[in-house]
Amino acid sequence: ALSADTSGPLAGLRILVSAGGTREPIDPVRFIGNRSSGRQGVAVAAAAAARGAKVVLLSANIDDSVLAEVADNPAVRVVPVGTAAELESAAHAGSAGAEVVIMAAAVSDYRVAGVSEEKIRKEDSDGPPTLTLLENPDILAGLVRDRRPGQVLVGFAAETAADEVELMERGRRKLARKGVDLLAVNSVGWSEGFESSDNTLHIIEASGALVERISGTKQQTADALLDAVAAVLR
């Protein structure tokens, strides 16, 4: 096994990482979810541990095969969460003791109002049901509001965009809206960004400047993001 770095800028820091995608129940057997595998966030957790950080990984519905990358790492504590509400309370609890927070999880923007206690059955219904959705709280915005002095907060944004210019524009607007120190913008589409092990990240800093555009494996992009975090900490 690789031994952790004990002298770099992240050594000894406590880093909270969320990864995966939340699931919002419709009834006991169904949910609203998204295509996030958790690979990028798990790669960030593994890379942070390799740099000597103590990592808490809030794992939203990540497959064991993906979590295997950190499962035996004593520097990574995995905390499973399911819904956005569960992620929110775990994130606030974890953020209080972290110098760096990286929100890589895909959080469902909406949850279902009036979750059915029983399975919804066609037999009992009169045609297709209508789901009423409620907006979930913006967890990252809440963490920014409650930030501890000097704490570094990082967001992720998966965007569909026609070109790089639109991608950067959307990224800059989102970064400003969220008030984070760094935003990692990921271009996604039907066949881009999710299942693949490779990824392209545009890392934007608080000024709106592009820190780096990095294409590579999720390990390489995780390392580039941690370099950017280290630069903000300095």
User: Which residue positions form the known binding site?
Assistant: 109, 119, 137-140, 156, 174, 178
Q: Which residues bind ligand CTP (CB under 6 A)?
A: 84, 103, 105, 107, 109, 136, 138-140, 155-157, 174
The pairing of strands 110-112 and 100-103 is unpaired
Where residue 208 falls (left for φ over 0; alpha for ψ -120 to 50; beta otherwise) is left
Compare residues 32 and 75 and give the one whose CB is closer to Ca ion.
32
Compare residues 138 and 205 and give the one whose CB is closer to Ca ion.
138
Least CB distance to Ca ion at residue 109 (A): 4
x/- mask, Ca ion, residues 86-125, rule CB under 5 A, reads: -----------------------x----------------
Which among Ca ion, ligand CTP, none contacts residue 194 (Cβ within 5 to 8 A by kind)?
none
Give kind and range of the element (H or E) at residue 46: helix 39-50
Active-site choice (34, 73, 136, 186): 34
42: its two tokens: 């798990």
Compare residues 52 and 172 and give the one whose CB is closer to ligand CTP.
172
Which among ligand CTP, Ca ion, none contacts residue 136 (Cβ within 5 to 8 A by kind)?
ligand CTP
Least CB distance to ligand CTP at residue 3 (A): 30
Could you give the CA distance from residue 57 to residue 29 in angstroms, rounded to a whole number? 26
Compare residues 85 and 120 and give the one whose CB is closer to ligand CTP.
85
Choose among 76, 184, 170: nearest CA to 140.
184
Least CB distance to ligand CTP at residue 80 (A): 17
Amino acid at 124: D
* Annotation marks residue 34 as catalytic: yes
Least CB distance to ligand CTP at residue 139 (A): 3
Residue, CB closest to Ca ion: 109
x/- mask, Ca ion, residues 157-176, rule CB under 5 A, reads: --------------------
Query: Which residues lie across from 58 on neighbouring strands?
Result: 18, 79
Print burial letters for 128-167: b (CB count within 10 Å at least 16), e (below 16): eeeeeeeebebbbeebbeebeeebbbbbbbbbebeeeeeb
Residue 199: is it exposed, middle or buried by C-beta count within 10 angstroms (0-12/13-18/19+)? buried
Could you give the CA distance from residue 213 to residue 200 in angstroms, rounded to a whole number? 7
| List of residues contacting Ca ion (CB under 5 A) | 109
Catalytic residue annotation: 34
